[in-house]
Each structure stands twice: as C-alpha cells, then as structure tokens.
Structure 1
Amino acid sequence: MKNVLIVILLIAFGAGLYVNFGMSQNIDQSDIISESTEGETEENTEDDASQTSDEDGNSGNPATSGENLTFSQEPLQERYTQAVENNEALIIDVLLPSYYTDGFIETLAGQFGTDNIQFNRIDIDTNTVDLTELTVSENSDAVIMDALQIRDYNDEVLPERNVDNLTNAYMNIYNSDKIVYILGNPNVHEHENLADILAEDQASLVENDYFYIDNQDVSVDGEFYDYEADTLTPETESRIAESIYGYMVE
C-alpha cells in the first residue's frame, strides 16, 4: 500500500512539472511570435508609408507642370505668368519654311515640357527677296519667325538676300503687340557662303537689339539635311529646339 501511494505521488509530481513547464514554454513562444508579428507589421507600415511618400513626391513634380518656367525676356515672362494665373495657355506662333518637318512643333513643345504653352505652326512660302509681309494669329502672345537663310540658299538667291524685308516683317508683327524672335539657321549645307551670311546676320541683328536665336554653331553626329526629303534631319531639329529653349528660358 505504501508503495502504491509513493507511485501515485510521483505521478502527480511529474504531471505538475509537465504542466508548469509546458505552459511556460507555450507562453514564451506566444510572446516571441507576437513580438515578431508586431515588428513585421511596423516594418510593412513604414515601407508602405515610404512608398506612398515617394509616389506622392513623383506625382507632384513641379518641373513637369511647366509652371516654374522663367523666361529670359521680361515681357514674355509677364504674359506667361498672367496666362498661368488665368489657367490659360501662352500662345506662340512659329513661322517656318517647308524644310522643317511636320514633327518639329512636337519636338519644340517637348523641349519646354508644359501644357501652359501652345505652339502653332504657320508656313512661310517665300525667301527674303520676295518677302513682303508675314501673317500671324490675332490671339498669339509671341512669334518665332525663321530667318530664311537656308531658304535663300536653296532658292539660289543668297547673294541678293534682303535682310531689310525680314526686319520690316519683324517690326510689323512687333507693332501688333507681339513679342518677336528671329530664328537663325544652322549651316546645314556646310557651305562657306551660307556660313558667312549666318555670321553677318547674327552680328547685325544682335547689335540692333533684335531677339535673335543663333544656330550657326549647331553640330550633329549624323547628317544635317535630308536631301531626298528636302528637310532638316530630326537630329538637326532637336538641336534647334534646344537652342530656342536655351535662348528663351533662364
């Protein structure tokens, strides 16, 4: 009988140890799992917050909106600021001869990268010898007019080039309350006579305070001119668009 009681006590004692040890172990494991889960949750929350912040920062990039553009010419800056405040577009007419491709306006707009400027192409079908007047939009704020040096070369009237006709057309547009720029050409034919005209025009027009965008030093890796299509190459047009942006924007 005494032996039976001893066995029963040993069994009871062992069961008590098992229960206490097992519960303690389960509690410790539960705490570890709980702490691990909370840590992962906090990390995920921080990662999500960081990702959201990055996405918000990218979506609010002011450079892509164009509202922070600063023009080098104060009159144009004033009109641009007013247009943005009124939620309107600054309208710029671009007067171009046929050696500019149909994609040039898109290239130019892409250089400025804003919906706050509207570029309108108006074709010029004349050289400076026959030039009398140029037509522009009534509602445009500014005008970029090609200097027609390549056109004079292509029409073989470069020796008779008439810069007075060009500047008279400039002043007529200017007097209709437009801000006017003359767009110089690059030496796409790489000819000495064309190079001389480009240098002369740059010197005289800048000296007389015309807004003249000089492109005589433009260089390209490939070809300047597509003689089969009789147009500037896309690379040349890209360089000209860069020059326009560089001249007009600070």
Structure 2
Amino acid sequence: MSTYAETLHPRSEFDRPSNVIQGEFGHLERRSRQGEVAHIVRRHILSGDVAPGDRLSEARVSSWVDATRSVLRGAFAALAAEGLVELQMNHGARVHCAPIREAIEYAEVLRPIERMTGALAATRRDDESSAAIRARGAAVREASIGASPLDYENAVDHYGAISEAANHAAVRQTLVALRARNSIRRYQLSRTVISPIDSVPLHLAVSAAICNGDAGAADEALRAQNRLLVKGLCELQRRRRPHLA
C-alpha cells in the first residue's frame, strides 16, 4: 500500500531506497546502468582521483567504465543534480567545489531549512519512513569506519529518508539544492577535520528523535550538526591548504 508521501510525490524508479528497480521484462535489476556509472564517477571524485575544476570528458570516464554516450550523459546529469559537477555544453562536465567562504554561507542558510525538515519529519513520519530513517542512520554508522566515499553516500541517503518523511516538496527541493552546493566540502571534512566520533552520534540522535516523534530533540540535534559543519568549514579556511581552499 502506498504511503501518503508516495501518493503526493510518487517515487521514480531511481528514487527507491533499496536501489532495486523493476526491469523491462519483469526481472529485478540491482540498479540502472546510468546509476552504476554515476556511482563509479562519484567515487572517483570523492576519493580525490579528480580534483575540483578538472574536466570529466566522456572519453576520460569511458576509461573507468564501459558505457554508451547516452548513459554517460545521464550519469553526468545525476551528478550535476547532486552538486558534484557542472555540465558543460558538448564538453562533458567539470568537477564543482564551492569556495570555503561560500560553503560556510550555504551552511548558514541551510540551518533553518534543516530544522524545518526535522520538525516536519517528526510529526509526519509513519512506520515505513521511520524504518527507512533508522536503517540509513545505521548505515552511516557502519560506513563511518575507515571514512570511505561510502560515508558521504550513506549520509545523503540518510537525509533523503528524513526529507521523504517530512513530505514537503518545496522544503525537500530547497534542502537538496543547498546541500548539493557543499557536497565535496562535506566529504573533505569527513577526511580531514570532522571525526566520525563527533558526527555519527549526531546522525543517530537526529534519527532517534524523529522516529520517536520528538521535534524538540530533533531540532537540537540538527542545530548541533549544523554547528559542527560550520566549525569544520572555518577550520578548513584557517588551514588554507591549496587543494582545499
């Protein structure tokens, strides 16, 4: 049975949390080819194999994975929506990374949007959305060991589950757009400044508060997360490393 959120905003085949979609002939496929290619390119970006500002031509990406031109373009479009790349007419894409000062400003603007999302999710969540939030929060905890690119992807999934529970299209679109501008900076923080010891308990506190319907506790945890993000970005700015600044 569809949830109320699904009735208002039906999920596409690319939005399903399990990444399992119904194939053309009725068989189940793990994920779309386009999604697989985007996943591979994302990992190259987040691992530092390609630097901010580097061009991702179709020829370059084809050396990492065998894919058709249409699949590559679809993967680039998906990564552009995440804020990881900027599309370039007839030239593939370029890796995007906001200047640190700009990233701090995005984080400050995000604060009230994240708090609104948490409050809405705490009041509108149901059993299905609560289970998704708990599962993705646990995935963040498991993936945090070793600080791999998977941490970032699971954190994105975690916020995706929370925004789905909030069931507010305008808030979700704004949240996604603003968080996308800081994608690479967030990953840099997870590798250089912010320890999982500090960040993971906050992810879990947000999950617990929302699933328990405690809007006040969710607000407190989300504000703490945002403070940690801004503090980390300020530390990056202080260090002024050439490859980060």
Alignment TM-score, normalising by the size of structure 2: 0.26
Higher normalized strand content (fraction of residues): 1
Q: Which has the larger radius of gyration?
A: 1
More helix by share: 2
Higher relative contact order (CA 8 A, sep 6+): 2
